[in-house]
Amino acid sequence: MRLALFFLFALTATAETTVLRAQRMIDVVSGRLISPATIVVVDSYISAINPATLPAGAPVVDLGNVTLLPGFIDMHVHLLLESATRYRIDVISETPAEAVLRSTVNARKTLLAGFTTVRELGQLHPTKDLLAVAMAKASDAGWIDSPRIVAAGHAISITGGHIDPEMSSPVSAGLFQLGPEQGIADGVDEAVKAVRWQIKRGAQVIKISATAGVTSVEPTMGAQQMTKDEMKAVVDEAARHGVKVAAHAHGTEGIIAAVQAGVASIEHGSFLNDEAIRLMKERGTYLVPTSGLGETIDLSNAPAIVKQKADIALPAARVSLRKAALAGVKIALGTDAPLIPFGQNAKEFYAMVDRGLSPLDSLRAGTINAADLLGVNDRGQLTSGKLADIVAVPGNPLEDIRTTENVVFVMKGGKIYRRP
Ligand SMILES: [Zn+2]
């Protein structure tokens, strides 16, 4: 009986097909605007673009006067954080389970804004558990409405460095017992152990803090913190597992050391000089400029030292992005959300145009370039065979990039999460 039922199911199970129609789509690879656009989705994948004949009987979703784009990709988020300063309270007042449940709201806002993949670059919650890895699994299993999550677990920092959770406040020192499992590592051996722990627990990318930072209380923001040997050890160990490394880096010296150590991306890159730009081009290192947060970051509750550092770093970062874009450094979109609030991630598209990228290059930074930096070729463009991660915006984003901030339709893996 059971066998008969199985065969009956196998014979009647058919692929799920959806046809999307819109006035326009953008091929981000060629830069062409294609009009009209019909995309056939079978199960989780795009099966055809503007085919001569449509599959009979398939449901048609006619979106009208919109532009279809590949699902957006944000290469720098912190899903567990709510603001630049609130986590100082969250980390001592919440259990890890509460933190994850709260953060599912941030994941949902991000997805509904059209971001179908995010890279989660450090949880800053000092438990040994990798909370964003748990969220990634929940997303993959369909338990939560969320972008696909590529999670770093704990970012790796020196004792007293930018990502040491105890550096978020002048009074928090001594609250936590932190070691390589929570990303605090000194010397090559501990740095290697920190990488191995994150990967053992499911991290798919490694984040390091190469230099000091803005939202932590060290007196400088640009000073190199990890040694070149420590960074090289991290990159080499991650590479043995096929994992890439992203480096938080503001100061020139630390940027250059991180690029020479072989990191895949420089996050922020506030103080880029000609040598740093030349080296990044030579090595193919991505810049993830996180530029738009300059307009949105809320430092009203931040310590005075953090405000002072922000006043210097944010204008410098704008200039550095302009120089890097002109020089042809590879650029991928990152928001550092919540520093751009969750759900407003697309503000970064406009910020990059404002600093000198063309609208097409800005779109590429948040789609095909981001996929390249992730090391995947299954997303980031609207082509048959790619994942059906598809969003729609009103108007034409090549003429007005801010239309990306009004996403009206979101499909991830063939499933519709938002419709007009
Ligand atoms: Zn960050």
Residue 301, pLDDT score: 83
Is residue 164 very low, low, confident or very high in pLDDT (cuts 50, 70, 90)?
A: confident
Q: Which H or E run contains 6?
A: helix 2-12
Share above pLDDT 70 across residues of the chain, in percent, rounded to a whole number: 94
Q: Is residue 209 part of a domain?
A: yes
Examine the pLDDT at 112 and tell me if it is beyond 60.
yes
**Tens of pLDDT, residues 337-358:** 999 999 999 999 999 999 999 9
Measured in angstroms, how far is the CA atom of residue 334 from the centroid of ligand 1? 9
Q: Note if the pTM is more than 0.75.
A: yes
Q: Could you give the angle at the alpha carbon of 351 between the alpha carbons of 332 and 327, nearest 5°?
A: 55
Measured in angstroms, how far is the CA atom of residue 244 from the centroid of ligand 1? 16
- CATH label of the domain that carries residue 99: 3.20.20.140
Q: Is residue 1 part of a domain?
A: no
How high does pLDDT run on average in the chain? 93
Q: Is residue 257 part of a domain?
A: yes
> Is the CB of residue 411 less than 8 Å from the CB of residue 82?
no
Measured over all CA atoms, what is the biggest interatomic distance in the chain, rounded to whole angstroms? 74
Tell me the Cα Rg of the chain. 22
Same domain, 180 and 274: yes
Same domain, 399 and 267: no
Measured in angstroms, how far is the CA atom of residue 56 from the centroid of ligand 1? 48
What's the CA gap between 316 and 320, in Å, rounded? 6
**Tens of pLDDT, residues 65-107:** 999 999 999 999 999 999 877 766 777 788 999 999 999 999 9
Measured in angstroms, how far is the CA atom of residue 24 from the centroid of ligand 1? 34
**Tens of pLDDT, residues 188-246:** 999 999 999 999 999 999 999 999 888 887 888 889 999 999 999 999 999 999 999 99
Is residue 172 very low, low, confident or very high in pLDDT (cuts 50, 70, 90)?
A: low
Measured in angstroms, how far is the CA atom of residue 76 from the centroid of ligand 1? 6
Measured in angstroms, how far is the CA atom of residue 336 from the centroid of ligand 1? 5
Share above pLDDT 90 across residues of the chain, in percent, rounded to a whole number: 81
255 Cβ contact partners less than 8 Å away, ≥ 6 residues apart: 210, 211, 247, 249, 266, 269, 271, 272, 276
Q: Is residue 5 part of a domain?
A: no
Is residue 15 very low, low, confident or very high in pLDDT (cuts 50, 70, 90)?
A: confident
Same domain, 187 and 155: yes
Measured in angstroms, how far is the CA atom of residue 402 from the centroid of ligand 1? 23
Is residue 1 very low, low, confident or very high in pLDDT (cuts 50, 70, 90)?
A: very low
Q: Which H or E run contains 32?
A: strand 32-34
Order across the sheet with 37-42: list the strands: 45-49, 37-42, 17-22, 60-62
Is 278 or 303 the better-scoring residue by pLDDT?
278
Q: Is residue 2 part of a domain?
A: no
Tell me the CA distances in angstroms from 22 to 65, 74, 245, 407, one per residue in order: 6, 25, 38, 14
Measured in angstroms, how far is the CA atom of residue 394 from the centroid of ligand 1? 30
Q: Is residue 60 part of a domain?
A: yes
Q: Supply the range of the domain harboring residue 150.
A: 72-374
Measured in angstroms, how far is the CA atom of residue 78 from the centroid of ligand 1? 6
Is residue 176 very low, low, confident or very high in pLDDT (cuts 50, 70, 90)?
A: confident
Is residue 179 very low, low, confident or very high in pLDDT (cuts 50, 70, 90)?
A: very high
Structure tokens that stand for 104 in this block? 């599912």
Structure tokens that stand for 161 in this block? 């460095």
Same domain, 66 and 85: no
Measured in angstroms, how far is the CA atom of residue 155 from the centroid of ligand 1? 9
Burial class (CB in 10 A: 0-12, 13-18, 19+), 197: buried
Measured in angstroms, how far is the CA atom of residue 339 from the centroid of ligand 1? 8
Measured in angstroms, how far is the CA atom of residue 174 from the centroid of ligand 1? 23
Same domain, 237 and 341: yes
> What is the tally of structural domains in the chain?
2
- CATH label of the domain that carries residue 397: 2.30.40.10
Q: Is residue 4 part of a domain?
A: no
